[in-house]
Structure 1
Amino acid sequence: MGIRHLARLQFEADGPVVEGEWTVPATAQDRYTEWVGLYGTGPGIVIRLIEESDGRRRVLKTWTAQGETEEPTN
């Protein structure tokens, strides 16, 4: 199994999830950016860009109403 790239949207913490999955990282990044533009000002919004490999997920970026945080690469 290869690397999967996901964009994940929640309108509130621990709420239902809308998630898209792609093999091309740029496509997932585009969707993440689109969702930030459309929904990023919602008070409970959580949008994540995630990389998954061998069943392990690594959050690359997280957007909340307070702004974006990027996870350090290891």
Structure 2
Amino acid sequence: MSAPERYHLTLIAVDRPVAHGWWSDEKVARAKFVRWIGEYGTIPGARLTLVDEDEARTLAIWPDET
């Protein structure tokens, strides 16, 4: 079972934090990531980042900068 605050999703716009959330389930966190792209993706300068805090690794970033 995952830690209650393992997956952290943040929304940054114009270099300022706008929203964030924590989930224990990766599948739920990834679904929220996709939903937030639809909800907040039109905000100028919006950037979403999903991090696995237990493993200290980034799972997803939007927009993709590669």
User: How far off its partner does 1:45 sit?
Assistant: 0.4
Runs ≥4 residues deviating over 4 A: none
Q: CA RMSD in A?
A: 2.4
Report matched runs for 1:1-74 at 5 Å: 2=3, 4-13=6-15, 15-53=16-54, 57-64=56-63, 68=64
8 A contact 1:7–1:19 mirrored in 2: yes
The alignment's TM-score, normalised by the length of structure 2, stands at 0.75
Listed as ranges, the gaps of 5+ residues in structure 1 are none
Count of residue correspondences: 64
> 1:4/1:69 Cα in 2 relative to 1: closer, same or farther (>3 Å)?
farther
Identity of aligned residues (%): 30
